[in-house]
């Protein structure tokens, strides 16, 4: 098992997605700064935060699954905000689809972690 949450493929993919979201939101209108822009950035970053927090508590399977569920919830929130960004014409359909595909992959990985917390338990020395 990986020694750090940063070594997890799901963390790397979620972090990369959050950075892509950051880049795409730079072109959102300034009147969205405290609304959709911030919310989209926050939810995408919260996926990474919840993974890190849960990984530190992986010796407690229920807590681990709960934090991965939180990450999955934030991931879904990111997808909904991407839908709004498309509807508001802040991003193209292609941009939205590319980001959602990446988000769905993260979601599948998180779901595996939720359903199989024992696979992530630290090994006894």
pLDDT digits (tens, 9 = 90+) for 42-94: 999 999 999 999 999 999 999 999 999 999 999 999 999 999 999 999 999 99
Sorted by where each begins, the domain ranges of the chain are 5-118
Q: What are the tens digits of pLDDT across the range 92-105?
A: 999 999 999 999 99
The model's pTM is: 0.93
CA nearest neighbour of 77 among 34, 36, 40: 40
The domain defined by 5-118 folds into de novo design (two linked rop proteins) (1.20.1440)
* Spatial distance between the Cα atoms of 40 and 119, rounded to a whole number of angstroms: 31
């Amino acid at each position: 098992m990986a020694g750090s949450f940063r070594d997890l493929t799901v963390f790397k993919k979620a972090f990369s997605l959050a950075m892509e979201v950051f880049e795409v939101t730079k072109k959102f209108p300034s009147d969205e700064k405290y609304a959709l822009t911030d919310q989209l950035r926050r939810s995408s970053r919260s996926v990474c935060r919840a993974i890190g927090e849960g990984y530190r508590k992986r010796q407690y399977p229920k807590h681990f699954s709960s934090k991965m569920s939180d990450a999955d919830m934030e991931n879904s929130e990111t997808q909904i905000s991407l839908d709004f960004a498309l509807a508001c014409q802040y991003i193209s359909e292609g941009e939205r689809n590319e980001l959602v595909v990446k988000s769905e992959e993260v979601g599948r990985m998180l779901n595996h972690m939720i359903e199989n917390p024992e696979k992530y338990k630290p090994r006894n020395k």
